[in-house]
C-alpha cells in the first residue's frame, strides 16, 4: 500500500491533513495517477460534498509553517505511529 494524496502536489495548507491521505495500491496511485475520479467519489461518500469542496478550496490557501508547528506535527506523527506499532524515521 502507498499513501495516496487526494490533492496531488504539495500544498502546505493541506499537506499534513490526514483526511486527504489514504491507503492506495501501487496500480491506482502510480499507474492510474491517483485514480482521481474514483478517489473523488470515495471522498464525497466518506466526507460529504461540502467537506470535499472545502478541502479542494483550501489547497489555494497560502500557509507558512513555523519551526514550532513543524516540530509539533513531527512529534504527533511519531506518537501516532508508535501507537499503531510502527516506527517512523
- pLDDT tens-digit map of 9-46: 889 899 889 899 999 999 999 999 999 999 999 999 99
Burial class from Cβ neighbours inside 10 Å (0-12, 13-18, 19+) for residue 40 reads middle
pLDDT for the residue numbered 31: 93
- What pTM did the predictor assign? 0.75
> Is the per-residue pLDDT at 76 higher than 90?
yes
Can you give the pLDDT at residue 89? 56
Q: In DSSP terms, which residues pair with 3 in a beta bridge?
A: 23
Amino acid at each position: 500500500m502507498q499513501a495516496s494524496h487526494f490533492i496531488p502536489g504539495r500544498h502546505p495548507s493541506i499537506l499534513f491533513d490526514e483526511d486527504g491521505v489514504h491507503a492506495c495500491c501501487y496500480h491506482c496511485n502510480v499507474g492510474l495517477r491517483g485514480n482521481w475520479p474514483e478517489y473523488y467519489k470515495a471522498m464525497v461518500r466518506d466526507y460529504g460534498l461540502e467537506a470535499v469542496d472545502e478541502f479542494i478550496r483550501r489547497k489555494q490557501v497560502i500557509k507558512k509553517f513555523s519551526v514550532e508547528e513543524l516540530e509539533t506535527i513531527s512529534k504527533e506523527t511519531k506518537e501516532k505511529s508508535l501507537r499503531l506499532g510502527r516506527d517512523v524515521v
